[in-house]
Structure 1
């Protein structure tokens, strides 16, 4: 929403040299850095400004490198601060922009009207309301409230994260409303789901630019109104990568994953180059469909797009995609090859290994995390507990469950508790599992009681199974699997009267057992063979992976 400013007083002065124009990739940046180190790194301020500018703004995906360079500068000036904050705000990790602004203030460097719009942009992307209001207060203190660029940034922030009333106040109070002002308020209403008002503002705009079109297309796409988004997309006089990303992400959100891939092919045909956001959406689509072949093609496209270095977010998406598509070996290979990892990297591979039956390797990686003193979060612990459950490591699982709160300050949620019930149930410790459920600080949900019922069927405990089923039926009555589990448990023990009563109860309540089916694939389409039905029924690929049934 914050446009590039052509009258940037603080940057024009530092862009007369052609140094930054020669920085086309990370290797050239490092070569220039090396030459500066030889001559005295902090001695040439103009060259340092250009190196920071190139790393943070010009070369794609090198903001991390730019921040490392910036940290070595003895006394960065305001231009350097503004440059790295701007680069961070535009990156996939905008929280670093807020952190940099705080560091800037702590060093008593006075911000200007170029600083505040990009910090507010970062706050908006992060939905960081408290920080945004704090920045608003600083804007008033330093007297930038009437500045056109700052005012537009305030409208955009408050429209999206703060108060629409405040955004409207600044909009109505604008002596001159440019296209940015209109788009900022329109984006606020669209993001809050007020699409009728947003469309009214869009239609009333005296002039519409590409950002205006993108605002409305994105608004419709995020609300799942993908057909309305497509109509505007087709009407737009021009498109950029943001326009295409909105449509691709909108299709993924609506479960139209095949259409998302088709949009990508259309995007490539018209010559629009995808970016990281594009590829994240497409990898998510491949993961949802379980389409390994399409996922591998995206990986290949990524390698060409990013010249070999993908970055943490994309590599995490690859791990998730490969794991969900059943190729845990490729997921693990991506993890092992990563230059940098965050907590999501560890979570994806630990969980992926656990769910694919590689419990020992999953637990080993968690131990490696502990050795490296990487603090797990609640998602990590779900993967670890699943691994312990599948590996039959009850005592170790108990220890990790207790460790969550005692060592890491993580309060167990229903998923953690469900994992512990499953672990005890698999090991045949049914009474212990029931006692644990009774002692839980949070109310057990239907999944926990279903887990216990399933364990009772495996181990033939009719009495406890009946109790678990009663708890289930008090929460829900329409799940055929709940009845079938108990009926099978009675049949397993030879208690046919009990099995018949359960079946009759299903009939009395109008619950029907879903027909079982198997899946196969031919000519790119999924075929579902229903039990007792020899005729295959053709369905879309997405339905083959559990998105829907015929």
Structure 2
């Protein structure tokens, strides 16, 4: 066996031994490290090394500061220090070595090995280690090191400790721990510091607690660009795009200039709202300040914006103009084509990605499987699913299995979908079962639907959508007493049905319409236009699909109920307020019904309008009396 002295005097062999020995590597790369206490360090035996001529510590520190520009150079300097007997136990030497390791994103197991040898590490060293873990793929050791520092070290956390620690907790979405650390920050008087406040804003944004983040933001005496960006991004990422846009407007009023990060959040908010005109203005601003030349994130956000607004032509244009396309750029367009109903184009683009030598990601395959699902390509879907692990080594996640259930369910293969769930290697969650319940409703499979609903009751008993789907299943079978039972159960358990709404953009504003909505100042004109539409469509042979009104009421009442759906009011409003031939874009939070689908096809023919409807599952592009979905949705 090689002696320690031999290894330490031959640095290249030392590092070969360290990185080639699996058990030793595992020991220092484990996510649960044991950090030595001061008592451990005092009891540690001294290793006597026969060094070559002594080199001052200052020399090695200087080398680390000015020469450690890459991982190989860092390791050479470390080997040089070992060979010349420079003690790693020295706090100054250890501090600079760990800083270089973290700055170069070297393995944190390596940093931990050095850290465990330092006598009495100072707060700078602790902070560097916490920062390194916070920026790594596994941030959990950052919290463990913080607890170790508080319990066993005389060192106290300072102003720089908390931003790194809060970043780690945000990545872990550790809500309880985050709130505990916030209380410590308050107790120690660090909350007034801007960079600590910004870290707290980011923390609550990642937790989805945007109200808490906004409250903190409003109380901040000084708000820098980072604070504005953090709270705007928090609203944008948590399904609150309206608030994000309001904050962006307020930011301009206060004279704060947006940067690339701001514009990415802004574009994301516009995409969520389907606010294409506002998104175009943001695009002009991004071009004006030259962000597209240097910011790949801004390019990808633009691509995503146009895809989410149903403007695939613009999305393709942005994609073609990007000089250096990352796999994210390809994935954004693949997903965009898929959700807009251009499944075959999405799959062709995926083949181009492969031909370019790029490696698809997990999200890329979500887009590919989605394309297969919404185009009814069952065999192709299973083929691509198999390629994930066989060709690319990507282990399918629950989202991919959800796509497969959706693929089978939309094709009406209910038995196969259920058996697929039973044989999944992962435990099916509520989303998986809910996908199957939705398919049961579409294809009228009441027996399986009742069974699936019982499973969902165990997983998420208070989800309103499950009650609605089961109620719709009973209504399809005219089992009105069971419909009433479901509704009484909802009332008893305090479950409220999600109201349907439709959004349209006109000028600088986004307008919202509910079913039978008369709150808008132009309601009278919109309802007059609805009456005109009904007359013209009857001449085209339109007959209301009253079978889709899932209520025990008279036929005439069913026709009236159908005519006042929110998306119909929205399209009438846009016909009144826009010039002929202008495209109409509508965002709806629920699945578009069969009757509205028929009506929009006819309106696109009679009025010569392109109508783009984005519902909760996909886009429908209506034109010349047909829809891009091919009536398969």
TM-score by length of 1: 0.64
1:507 aligns with 2:488: yes
Check whether the contact 2:402–2:432 (CA below 8 A) recurs between aligned residues. yes
- Provide the rounded CA distance (Å) in 1 between the counterparts of 2:392 and 2:502: 43
Pair 1:402–1:305, CA change in 2 (3 A): same
Cα contact 1:121–1:153 (8 A) shared by 2: no
Give the distance between the partners of 2:228 and 2:472, measured in 1 at CA.
51
Is residue 201 from structure 1 mapped to residue 188 from structure 2 by the alignment? yes
Q: Point out where structure 2 has 5 or more consecutive residues left out of the alignment.
A: 1-62, 82-92, 170-177, 524-586, 591-633
Alpha-carbon offset, residue 362 of structure 1: 0.7
In structure 2, the CA distance between the partners of 1:451 and 1:149, relative to structure 1 (3 Å rule), is closer
Superposed CA RMSD in Å reads 4.1
Correspondence for 1:185 = 161
Give the distance between the partners of 2:130 and 2:500, measured in 1 at CA.
55
Contact 2:319–2:329 at 8 Å: present in 1 too?
yes
Contact 1:117 1:153 in 2 (8 A): yes
Match in the other structure for 1:50: none
Distance 1:528 1:286, change over 3 A: closer
The alpha-carbon deviation at position 385 of structure 1 amounts to 0.8
Distance 2:279 2:112 in 1: 44
Other structure's SS at 1:183 match: coil
1:13-52 matches, within 5 Å, as none
8 Å CA contact retained: 1:518, 1:530 = yes
**Which residue of 1 is the match for residue 604 of structure 2?**
none
After superposition, the C-alpha distances for 1:2-48 in whole angstroms (9 at most, x for unaligned) are xxxxxxxxxxxxxxxxxxxxxxxxxxxxxxxxxxxxxxxxxxxxxxx
Q: CA deviation at 1:279?
A: 2.9
Which secondary structure does the structure 2 equivalent of 1:197 belong to?
A: helix
Q: 2:75 corresponds to which residue? A: 105
Give, in angstroms, the shift of residue 408 of structure 1.
2.2
TM-superposition CA deviations, 1:140-166 (whole Å, max 9, x none): 87x898799667645755798351145
Which 5+ residue runs of structure 1 have no aligned equivalent? 1-76, 86-99, 175-180, 539-543
Deviations 1:149-188 (A, max 9, x none): 66764575579835114555899559xxxxxx83213435
* 2:378 match: 394
Please tell me whether Structure 1 or Structure 2 has the larger radius of gyration of its CA atoms: 2
Q: How many residues align?
A: 425
Contact 2:217/2:227 (8 A) holds in 1: no
Structure number with the bigger relative contact order (C-alpha 8 A, sep ≥ 6) is 2
Offset of residue 220 of structure 1: 3.9
Q: Which residue of 2 aligns with 1:66?
A: none
Contact 1:421 1:451 in 2 (8 A): yes
Distance 1:202 1:189, change over 3 A: farther
Post-superposition Cα deviations, 1:459-505, rounded to whole Å, max 9, x if no partner, equal: 3444434443443444444445434444544554xx43x35324324
- Between the aligned partners of 1:516 and 1:248, the Cα distance in structure 2 is 26
Q: Deviations over 1:369-411 (max 9, x none)?
A: 2223322222111111110111221111111112222222223
Residues 190-220 of structure 1, C-alpha deviations (whole Å, 9 max, x = no match): 555312222343459xxx9xxx422224324
Question: Following TM superposition, by how much is the alpha carbon of 1:355 offset from its aligned partner in structure 2, in angstroms?
Answer: 0.9
Partner of residue 420, structure 2 = 436
1:417 is matched with which residue? 401
Length-normalised TM-score, structure 2: 0.57
Q: Does 1:351 align with 2:335?
A: yes
